[in-house]
Structure 1
Amino acid sequence: MRSRDGWRLYGIGLSAICLLALGTAWWAQHIAGMAPCPLCLWERWPYRIGLLLGLILVVSPRALARWVMVAFIVVMLCGAGLAAVHIGVEQKWWASPLPSCHAASLHGSASDMLSQMPAHPAVPCDEPSYPIPAVPVSFATFDLICTLLLVVVTGFSLSRLRRAQLIFFGRS
């Protein structure tokens, strides 16, 4: 692989990191038995989109690589926003924006209350899940750290890619 095609290797790395994050969430849910709340499920979407963008980066031409990396940064910033909202809900700084995170209404007839019940019991969004028992850092906090690190590293790599393009094409 030529050094000026480094964005392809970076795309493989982004895809691997997103796959690792999704795999960790899957493991926590299905193997460790930690049921996700509705906000946790929303927080997985940036990693799914990031995985797709990483794969697109692998096969994209050089001219498109920069824009795919910018899109990845935007998606991860959205993920950081979701994680920040979740942390605020866990810390009880504000209520969850999702109606499925709120307690059911006790108004109306018994049939109305039964119709409002979810198909499966929901995990409340304001109770943090700690993946490492000895460390008081919730999944939402780990998610915020991971997404912000991905934004910083991708931004740094994007600036290096831009600099390499200027040097390679003789525009310094």
Structure 2
Amino acid sequence: MTPLQSRNAAYALALIVPAALMGGALISQYGFGLFPCQMCWWQRYPHIAAIVFALLAFTMKGRGASDMAVILAAICVGASGLIGGFHAGVEYGWWEGVTSCATVAGGGNPLDAIMNAPVIRCDVAPWTLFGISLAGFNFLISLGGAVLIFALLGKGRKGA
């Protein structure tokens, strides 16, 4: 892989990884009714920021500025992964997490929406695959993606 190909792959991954993870989170929420707890929301915010930084990287003029935007995107992806790792640890009972839970309010009468909203616990995994929760998958994919983005960007910078 040439340095230019490495750099382009880093840019693509900086957008694809957080976009795919956010897409999966939204599909699980709206398609399968797996509503996010508070810690799930915390994992989404860095992915949203990463998508913005990655999109900025594609629009910026100058290699230094666009590389910096990709670096910031990778940091955000890694931060989401670390939050996901903490959340997975809470779900597996390895340590204690936050004490508050999130609710999902619906439309209509606000009081009815609050009273009928489901309580989403942060310490219970609503879904697992091979014993790995969604937070655990976010940890694995995000940290792996962030490391790969940094590695590809570093390889792309060496050859330039």
TM range (shorter): 0.7 to 0.9
Percent identity between matched residues is 19
Question: What residue is the counterpart of 1:150 in the other structure?
Answer: 145
Question: What residue is the counterpart of 2:46 in the other structure?
Answer: 46
Structure 2 counterpart of 1:14, one-letter code: A
TM-score of the superposed pair, with normalisation by structure 2:
0.78
User: In the superposition, relative to structure 1, how do residues 140 and 78 fare at CA in structure 2: closer, same or farther (>3 Å)?
Assistant: same
The superposition leaves residues 13-62 of structure 1 with CA deviations (integer Å, 9 ceiling, x where unpaired) of 42233222111111111111112211111111121111111111111221
Question: What residue is the counterpart of 1:71 in the other structure?
Answer: 72
1:5 is displaced (CA, Å) by 8.0
Query: More strand by proportion, 1 or 2?
Result: 2
Question: What residue is the counterpart of 1:57 in the other structure?
Answer: 57
Structure 2 contact 51–73 (Cα < 8 Å) conserved: no
1:154 is displaced (CA, Å) by 0.9
TM-score of the superposed pair, with normalisation by structure 1:
0.73
User: In the superposition, relative to structure 1, how do residues 9 and 118 fare at CA in structure 2: closer, same or farther (>3 Å)?
Assistant: farther
**Superposition misfits of 4+ residues, deviation over 6 angstroms:** none
Aligned-partner Cα distance in 2 for 1:55–1:65: 10
User: In the superposition, relative to structure 1, how do residues 119 and 53 fare at CA in structure 2: closer, same or farther (>3 Å)?
Assistant: farther
Quick one: which of 120, 124, 133 aligns to 2:121? 124
Give the unaligned 5+ runs of structure 2.
103-113
Total equivalences in the alignment: 147
Give the unaligned 5+ runs of structure 1.
102-116, 166-172
Of structures 1 and 2, the larger Rg is shown by 1
The superposition leaves residues 88-130 of structure 1 with CA deviations (integer Å, 9 ceiling, x where unpaired) of 21122222235336xxxxxxxxxxxxxxx77722211111132
Structure-to-structure mapping, 1:1-172, within 5 angstroms: 4=4, 7=7, 10-60=10-60, 61-97=62-98, 99-100=100-101, 120-132=117-129, 135-165=130-160
Aligned-partner Cα distance in 2 for 1:66–1:77: 16
Structure 1 counterpart of 2:88, one-letter code: I
User: In the superposition, relative to structure 1, how do residues 72 and 119 fare at CA in structure 2: closer, same or farther (>3 Å)?
Assistant: farther
Structure 2 counterpart of 1:159, one-letter code: G
User: In the superposition, relative to structure 1, how do residues 58 and 90 fare at CA in structure 2: closer, same or farther (>3 Å)?
Assistant: same
SS of the residue 1:52 aligns to? helix
Structure 1 contact 128–139 (Cα < 8 Å) conserved: yes
SS of the residue 2:96 aligns to? coil
